[in-house]
Chain A
Amino acid sequence: MNKNQIEELIAKYNEGLADPSEILHLELLIESGEVDLTRLRELAKFDESLDKFKEPIASKNLDQKFYDMLLKETSKSKRFDYSSWFTLDSWIPKLSVSLVLIVMGFIGGTLLQKNSGGDEVKILANEVSGLKEMMMISMLEKESATDRLKAVSLSEEIQGPSKKVTEALFKTLNSDPSVNVRLAALDALHNYAKSPAVREGLVRSIAQQDSPLVQVALAELMVSMQEKSSVKELKKILEQKSTPKEVKQRIEESIKVLI
């Protein structure tokens, strides 16, 4: 069929004059892509009307059910995934951490053998702690969320962490792109909550969170710390329109306990 014949067939169809055999022919042309559906005027009109069709609005019940399910799922994934420990990708940082620790142990052992004086032990312990801090801070800069999670857990091995470590953890808590890493940083900072500066930093962090999960975790932490000064910050989350209903409920409950 040449171009003119196709045009004639389309015109005939649009006039409502095409017979069944011509419609069958038209189907073949549509299937092969020689005739576009938009050329069939009447049908295109119906197609456009369908596009303008309004769909129903989802009820609040659906939103609530979805966010409940999501909260449950996210808290599940927050837990440590043992299977990931055995994946090939995860071995490279693990090996490098092990290697650093072996070298540190070897240096420490040699020094201790040479001189068993208390001062050297102290110096060595400080050096090891410094190395761990350095390693943790550099791992926090890594692109992989798994590496950053490991960096956060490494901070828990550091005795009496320095300002540098808590600052790095706060930076992670307030700006890491992964919610899981932020939650891990929050857990790590919880261990240092005796320090007034850390408590103050945690309260300040509330207003900086946009993730409902971190907001809820912070609210629960404030309750466990009995940090009454956090109520003002928690109320700010309640005032935000974007805060999901479920989160608002949890925060309201926390505020009640705090007051």
Chain B
Amino acid sequence: MAKVRDGDPEKLGLLYERYKRPLLGFFVGMVRDKELSEDLVQNTFVRILKYKHLFRGDGDFRTWMFHIARNVKNDHFRKNKIAHEKVDKWEDKIKDEGNLMQEWQSDDEQRMLAIALDKLPEDKREILLLSKYQEKKYKEIGEILGCTEGTVKVKVFRALQDLKAIYQQVEKMM
């Protein structure tokens, strides 16, 4: 990234090839629409180029990128005024509603996990996706979310507890 910042934008191609899938995974998990997610991946890289001078180089590129990706996602929700769906009655929807994430999973367990993840509230889904794509670097996730490492760990703990509860219910219904 330092090379991109210092006048060699072509190097962004390497970063794109390395991070396009994790970014796409993050967006699909958050917005549940593959086409829209691809647009958001593109917007993230446009913003990386636009704000390349702000990359200090003393931190991890991945953290900086997910910070931008999160802003791109939030701006999208804000601009389109998408009402964040409440998931009180998610049990009714499991069987008749298609789930995007499960399409890519190879076994039943992973597919049920995809359904459970999809039914989590947005903030909990986000913390688990960030934990996955930031490779459990809770301090860096704290930088993205603007909170301490300890708070991130507690958020992950609560999200995993809810995920487990939903998964067990999904398992019973299948």
Contacts and interface: CB of A to CB of B under 8 A. Distances in A.
A26 B16 CA distance: 40
Contacts of A33: 149-150, 153
A62 B9 CA distance: 18
Given A27-B157, A58-B38, A70 B109 contact: no
B7 A46 contact: no
B128 to A, nearest CB: 6
Contact of B157 (A37, A55, A145): A37
Nearest to B101: A53
B47 to A, nearest CB: 11
Closest 3 CB pairs of A and B: A55-B25, A31-B150, A43-B160
B85 interface: no
A69 B42 contact: yes
Contacts of A58: 20-21, 24, 38, 41
Interface in A31-68: 31-33, 37, 40, 42-43, 46-47, 49-59, 61-62, 65-67
Given A32-B150, A55-B21, A56-B104, A47 B160 contact: yes
B113 A54 contact: no
A213 interface: yes
**For chain B, which range describes its interface: under 10, 10 to 19, 20 to 34, or 35 or more residues?**
35 or more
A230 B104 CA distance: 45
B34 interface: yes
Nearest to B138: A37
Interface in B94-135: 101, 103-106, 109-110, 113-114, 117, 128, 131-132
Contact of B109 (A49, A66, A73): A49
Interface stretch (B55-63, B64-72, B161-169): B161-169
Contacts of B150: 30-33
A178 interface: yes
B10 interface: yes
A74 interface: yes
Given A46-B167, A47-B160, A53 B114 contact: yes
A10 interface: no
A61 to B, nearest CB: 7
B74 interface: no
Given A27-B154, A69-B42, A70-B10, A53 B49 contact: no
Contact of B49 (A43, A47, A73, A179): A73
Interface in B17-51: 20-22, 24-25, 28, 34, 37-38, 41-42, 45-46, 49
Contact of A69 (B28, B45, B156): B45
